[in-house]
Amino acid sequence: MSFDPGLFMKAMSHQAPPYILEHLNLVLIPMGIAILIALPTGIVITRPGYRHLSPRIMAVFNAGQTIPPLAVIAIFFPFLGLGYGPAILALTIYALMPIARNTITGISTVPEDIKEAARGMGMTSWQVLRRVELPLSVPAIMSGIKTSAVLTVSTAVLAALVGGKGMGAIIFAGINFFQPELILAGTIYIGAMAVFIERFIVLMEWLLSPAHLKG
Amino acid sequence: MIELENITKKFPGADSFSVDRISFRVNEGNICVFLGPSGCGKTTILRMINRLEEPSSGNIFVNGKNVLEVDPSGLRQSMGYVIQQIGLLPHRTIEQNVGLVPELLGWEADKTRKRVRELLEVMGLKPDEVVRKYPHQLSGGQMQRVGVARAMAADPPIMLMDEPFGAVDPIVRIRLQDEFLSLQQKFQKTICFVTHDINEAIKMGDYLIILNQGRLIQMGSPIDVLTSPADEFVLSLIGEDRGVKILDLTRCETLMEPMRETPDDLMGSGCFVQSIQPVKLALEVMMKKDSDHVAVCREEKVIGLLSWKNIKKHINRVSGEDE
Ligand SMILES: Nc1ncnc2c1ncn2[C@@H]1O[C@H](COP(=O)(O)OP(=O)(O)OP(=O)(O)O)[C@@H](O)[C@H]1O
Ligand SMILES: [Mg+2]
C-alpha cells in the first residue's frame, strides 16, 4: 500500500472536515443525555432510602462497560433498525456508565463526619446535598464525564458502520478502498477532538471544583 | 431544659443496648458533664438529643417539647453542636464555617462577620490570620476551636459539646475552660458536655453523669461523686488522687474551726486564705510558710483557723479510711 501525500492533504482539507460536526453531534448528544440521566440517578441512589441498592446498580454499570458498543447496537437492531437513532442510543448507554459510577462513588465517599456536622448544624437533607455533597463530589463526577467523553469520541467511529455517519465514514471508506490517507486523516481529527474535549472538561472541572482544592 | 425519660437505644444489628434505660434532667443554665469509658454511649446520647439518632424507646423533651414532634433542622439550629470528629466543611473558609448557622438562619452578612471574629477571638485564634484559610490549613487543635466557635455562632441557648477540647494542648485547654466558664457565668446556657478527662469534668460540671456500657452509674455534683463514689468503677474512674481533688473543691470555711482571733503572727506573716478559696490553696500556703495552720478570712476579717489536722481528718473521712 502506498501513501500519497497529495491525497492525504486533500483528505485533511476537504474530505474529513464536513464530518467534524456530524461526529461532534454523535458525541455531544449522547453525552448530554447521559449526564441528564446518570447524574440524577447517581444522586437518588446515594440517598439513604436507596443506598442499599447502590452496590447492585454499580455492578450493572460495571458489567455494562464491558459490552462492546457494537454489541449494544446489535442488541437494539431488531427493535430500532440501523441508522442515526440507534447509534445515538448505543452511545448514550455506553456514556452513562462512567458518569453514574463516578457520581455514586463521589457522593458516597464524602466523609461521614462532614455530612454529620452539616446535618447537626441544622441543614436540611436538600441543603446537605446542594452545599456539601455535590460540591465535594465535583472532581469525581467531572472525571467520570471526562472518561465518558473521550470514550465516546472514539466509540462514535463505529456509528458509521450502522449508517450513523460521523468521522467513522471516512475511516471506513479508507479501509474499504485501501486508502491509508483517509484513515490517517480521520484518525487525526478523532484524536484532535478527543484532546479538545478533554481540555474543555478539565477547564470546567477547575471552574466547578471546591475552593479548597484550587490552591 | 433537657429531659430524658427512660431512654434506650439499640442500633440495628447490635446485640446489646448502646444506651440502656437512662433518665436525667439538665436544668436551664447548668453544665452537665458526661463521663465514661469509650463506647459507653456518650455520643449516642447527645445525638439523640438533637435527633441525629432516634431512641429505640423513651422520650426526650427539650424545653418541654418532645423532640420527635419538632422540625429537626429547626431543633438543631437552636442547639450548638460540637462534634467529636470536628467535621469542618473542607470547601469552606474558616469564616464561612463559623458563620454556617447564622447563614442558615438568614443573618445579615455584616452581623455574621462581626460575630465570627468575636468568637474566633474568644477561642484564642487570630481572626485576621485564619478567616480566609481552609480547614486543612489549620492544626488539629485549631480546627477543634473553630468547631467550638461554629457551635456557639448563633448564640444557641443549648449546647451539646462532644469532647470540645480533646485535641488542644493542656495549657490552651485550661485557658479555654476558664474562658468558657466565664462566658457561662454571663450567658447561663444549658450545656451537655462530654469529656474523658476527670479533672475537666470536675472543673466544668454542675452535675456529673457517669456512664458505663450504656447504663447510668452515678449522677451528682462533682463533690458528691468524689466524696461518695457509687462503686468500684466510679472509684477507678476518679483516680488515686481523690483526696487532692476533693480538697480542690472544698472551701476553707467548711473545714475551719470558727474563731474571732488567731495568733497574730499568722496574719502578719501572710499565712492566711479567703474563706471561699479551696482547701488545696490553704495547703500550699501552709507549705510555703512552713506552718501547720492558716487563718481563714472573709475580706479583711478573721473568721476561723484551718489546721492540717482537720484537713487530714476530712480526707480520711471522705475516702473511708481509718484515722
Ligand atoms: N451508628 C452506629 N451503628 C451501630 N453501632 C453504633 C453506632 N454508633 C455507636 N454505636 C455503638 O454504640 C456504642 C456507644 O457508642 P458511642 O459513640 O455513643 O460511645 P462514646 O461513649 O461516645 O465513646 P467515645 O468516648 O469513644 O467517643 C458503641 O458500642 C458503638 O459501637
Ligand atoms: Mg463519642
Q: What is the CATH number of the domain that holds A94?
A: 1.10.3720.10
- Structural domain range at position A147: 21-167
Taking only the tens place, the pLDDT of each residue in B9-37 is 999 999 999 999 999 999 999 999 999 99
A-chain CB neighbours of B92 within 8 Å are 211-212
Helix (H) or strand (E) holding B160: strand B158-162
Q: Would residue A47 count as lying in a domain?
A: yes
Ligand 1 atom nearest to B13, measured from its CA: 4
Q: Would residue A117 count as lying in a domain?
A: yes
Taking only the tens place, the pLDDT of each residue in A82-140 is 888 888 888 898 898 899 999 999 999 999 999 999 999 999 999 999 999 999 999 99
Any CB–CB contact under 8 A between B31 and chain A? no
Mean pLDDT (10-residue bins), chain B, 323 residues? 96 93 95 95 96 96 94 94 95 96 96 96 94 95 95 96 92 91 91 93 93 95 89 88 81 86 76 87 88 87 88 79 48
Query: Nearest 5 degrees, angle CA A110-CA A149-CA A84?
Result: 135
Sorted by where each begins, the domain ranges of chain B are 2-240, 248-319
Interchain CB distance below 8 Å, A116 and B92: no
Q: Is A109 exposed, middle or buried (0-12, 13-18, 19+ CB in 10 A)?
A: exposed
Any CB–CB contact under 8 A between B81 and chain A? yes
Q: Could you give the CA distance from residue A169 to residue A158 in angstroms, rounded to a whole number?
A: 9
Q: Which of B4, B7, B18, B200 to mutate to test the pocket of ligand 1 (most atoms within 8 A of CB)?
A: B18
pLDDT at residue B323 in the model = 42
**Under CATH, what is the fold of the domain B248-319?**
CBS domain Like (3.90.1280)
Q: Could you give the CA distance from residue A186 to residue A159 in angstroms, rounded to a whole number?
A: 14
A33-46 b/e (C-beta count within 10 Å ≥ 16 → b):
bbbebbbebbbebb
Instruction: Give chain B's length.
Output: 323
B319, three cell numbers: 475516702
Whether the CB of B84 sits within 6 Å of ligand 1:
yes
Which residues does A139 contact at the CB level (< 8 Å), separation at least 6?
A: A106, A205, A209, A210, A213
Q: Give the three-state DSSP class for A167.
A: coil
Distance (Å) from CA A146 to ligand 1 centroid = 40
Which residues does A2 contact at the CB level (< 8 Å), separation at least 6?
A: none
Q: Would residue A125 count as lying in a domain?
A: yes
Mutate to test the interface with A, among B51, B89, B96 (most CBs of A within 10 A): B89
Instruction: Tell the residue number behind the cell numbers 457565668, with chain if given.
Output: B185
Interchain CB distance below 8 Å, B92 and A136: no
Q: Would residue A16 count as lying in a domain?
A: no
CATH (residue range B2-240): 3.40.50.300
- Distance linking the first and last C-alpha atoms of chain B: 44
Q: Would residue A1 count as lying in a domain?
A: no
Which residues does B229 contact at the CB level (< 8 Å), separation at least 6?
A: B218, B235, B238, B242
B-chain CB neighbours of A114 within 8 Å are 87-90
Taking only the tens place, the pLDDT of each residue in A49-64 is 888 888 888 888 777 7
pLDDT at residue B316 in the model = 81
Ligand number with the minimum distance to the CA of B54: 1
Q: Whose CA is nearest to atom 5 of ligand 1?
A: B11
Which residues does B264 contact at the CB level (< 8 Å), separation at least 6?
A: none
Taking only the tens place, the pLDDT of each residue in A169-187 is 999 999 999 899 999 999 9
Give the number of domains in chain A.
1
DSSP labels, A96-160: HHHHHHHHHHHHHTS-HHHHHHHHHTT--HHHHIIIIIHHHHHHHHHHHHHHHHHHHHHHGGGGG
Q: Is B220 exposed, middle or buried (0-12, 13-18, 19+ CB in 10 A)?
A: middle
Name the residue of chain B whose CA is nearest to A215's CA. Answer: B134
Distance (Å) from CA B42 to ligand 1 centroid = 8
CB neighbourhood size of A28 (10 A): 13
Residue B82 contacts residue B164 (beta carbons within 8 Å): yes
ipTM: 0.83
Whether the CB of B12 sits within 6 Å of ligand 1:
no
Q: Would residue A196 count as lying in a domain?
A: no
Q: Could you give the CA distance from residue B18 to residue B204 in angstroms, rounded to a whole number?
A: 25
A187, three cell numbers: 484518525
Distance (Å) from CA B249 to ligand 1 centroid = 32
Mutate to test the interface with A, among B43, B91, B98 (most CBs of A within 10 A): B91
Query: Nearest 5 degrees, angle CA B233-CA B321-CA B244?
Result: 70
